[in-house]
């Protein structure tokens, strides 16, 4: 007997799998044990892959007619923290056609739907055209180490990553680049400011120059993603009011489009700083190496996984046209490993990480059917 997709989802939500990099988070251990025994109970071969001590990816294999072709289904097992939640995070509640709880949307719904699809195909005795690998991975919500480990040596012909996409086939997502710019000035008594170099004043020039540059970004949009964006999110400088500040730093979050590289983007910002330096000889500014680099995802719209997924979605009565999302996921890492990858899952990113997290139950059930049909039709 296969449990309903809804009861698999309830079981998953009931298990606290807050990423252990967040305060009080136990990590994925208990969910990993649940996923592993689910596949064992259904006679599906399953193995574990150690990512960190006590934090393993769980990888199930379903043989296909063609052992040389492989489809990877991937979903993360961790969640963000429960801080600020206004519902019980680990008591899965059903009301108004929705399932509530931490991870119900991001991304235990997609994981439950993928697990159900595999179990159903196994029970039916039908052998899918290609080998199917279902990877339930750790650490998507912090540093993506689970998928990086998975991709190490992985060969596959297509990938589907579960994230809430409101039942759209997502072929493009923005990348993220985060780094710091630091200005060094010269300290002096505030009664004699001409003896110092004010790092805060210099940084103000830089922030305004960036703002001007960001307006230009809006002029060039990607058809599915819109324009790249940039946000100066943090500024720190100065020690106390009667000192000339000798240091000021900003932190920048730049969302990248397909085709942009971190090196190319950083070179552009360096040229802005160089231009300011020619106007202000005493400007001492440097860019630190990035804190985060995640390049964008763009899968060809005529890739066979996109064609297969769009057809299945249309058969189920949904919009099958390819879409884009602004958020990062594991998909860009599979794509960089040479695997044409789409993102697909029930629910909306607006409810992910939210104080009240929920997913529409009907979408979870339809997503299971979507994954099942794609597995059976992808050749
Ligand atoms: Zn997610």
- For residue range 334-353, list pLDDT tens digits in order: 999 999 999 999 999 999 99
Whole-number Å distance, alpha carbon 243 to ligand 1 midpoint, is 46
Has residue 9 got a pLDDT over 90? Answer: yes
Whole-number Å distance, alpha carbon 48 to ligand 1 midpoint, is 21
First-to-last CA distance in the chain? 28
DSSP class of residue 195 equals G
**CA–CA separation, 15 vs 28, rounded Å?**
9
Whole-number Å distance, alpha carbon 317 to ligand 1 midpoint, is 25
Whole-number Å distance, alpha carbon 140 to ligand 1 midpoint, is 7
Q: Return the half-sphere exposure (C-beta side, CA atoms, 13 A cut-off) of residue 150.
A: 36
CA angle 222–223–224, rounded 5-degree value: 95
DSSP class of residue 347 equals S
Whole-number Å distance, alpha carbon 187 to ligand 1 midpoint, is 46
DSSP class of residue 358 equals E
pLDDT tier, 243 (very low <50, low <70, confident <90, very high otherwise): very high
Whole-number Å distance, alpha carbon 164 to ligand 1 midpoint, is 7
- For residue range 80-107, list pLDDT tens digits in order: 999 999 999 999 999 999 999 999 999 9
Whole-number Å distance, alpha carbon 304 to ligand 1 midpoint, is 24
Question: What global pTM score does this model have?
Answer: 0.91
pLDDT of residue 1: 86
Whole-number Å distance, alpha carbon 213 to ligand 1 midpoint, is 32
Q: What is the mean pLDDT of residues 215-232?
A: 94
pLDDT tier, 109 (very low <50, low <70, confident <90, very high otherwise): very high
Whole-number Å distance, alpha carbon 114 to ligand 1 midpoint, is 14
Neighbouring residues of the ion ligand 1, judged by CB less than 5 Å: 106-107, 163
pLDDT tier, 201 (very low <50, low <70, confident <90, very high otherwise): very high
Quick one: which of 293, 311, 295, 298 has its CA closest to 343?
A: 298
Looking only at the bridges linking them, the beta strands covering 130-137 and 66-76 are parallel
């Amino acid at each position: 007997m296969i449990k309903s997709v809804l009861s698999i989802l309830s079981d998953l939500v009931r298990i606290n799998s807050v990423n252990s990099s967040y305060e009080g988070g136990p990590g994925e251990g208990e969910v990993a044990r649940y996923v592993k025994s689910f596949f064992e109970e259904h006679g599906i071969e399953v193995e574990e892959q150690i990512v960190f001590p006590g934090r393993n990816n769980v990888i199930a294999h379903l043989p296909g007619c063609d052992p040389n072709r492989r489809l990877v289904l991937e979903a993360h097992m961790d969640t963000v923290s429960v801080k600020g939640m206004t519902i019980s995070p680990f008591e899965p509640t059903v009301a108004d056609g929705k399932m509530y709880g931490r991870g119900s949307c991001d991304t235990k719904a997609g994981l439950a739907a993928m697990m159900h699809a595999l179990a159903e195909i196994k029970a039916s005795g039908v052998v899918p055209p290609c080998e199917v690998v279902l990877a339930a991975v750790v650490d998507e919500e912090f540093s993506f180490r689970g998928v990086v480990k998975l991709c190490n040596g992985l060969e596959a012909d297509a990938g589907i990553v579960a994230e809430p996409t409101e039942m759209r086939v997502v072929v493009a997502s923005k990348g993220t680049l985060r780094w710091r710019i630091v200005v060094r000035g010269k300290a002096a008594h505030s009664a004699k400011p001409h003896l110092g170099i004010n790092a805060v004043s210099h940084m103000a020039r830089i922030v305004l120059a960036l703002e001007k540059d960001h307006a230009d970004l809006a002029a060039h949009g990607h058809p599915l993603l819109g324009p790249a964006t940039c946000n100066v999110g943090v500024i720190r400088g100065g020690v106390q009011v009667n000192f000339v500040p000798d240091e000021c730093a900003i932190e920048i979050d730049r969302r990248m489009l397909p085709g942009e590289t971190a090196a190319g983007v950083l070179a552009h910002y360096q040229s802005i700083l160089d231009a300011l330096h020619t106007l202000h000889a005493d400007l001492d500014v440097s860019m630190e190496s990035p804190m985060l680099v995640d390049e964008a995802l763009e899968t060809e719209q005529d890739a066979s996984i996109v064609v297969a997924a769009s057809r299945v979605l249309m058969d189920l009565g949904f919009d099958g046209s390819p879409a884009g999302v602004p958020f990062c996921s594991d998909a860009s890492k599979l794509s960089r490993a040479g695997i044409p990858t789409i993102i697909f899952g029930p629910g909306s990113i607006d409810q992910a990480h939210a104080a009240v997290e929920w997913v529409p139950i009907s979408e979870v059930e339809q997503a299971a059917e979507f994954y099942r049909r794609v597995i059976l039709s992808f050749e």
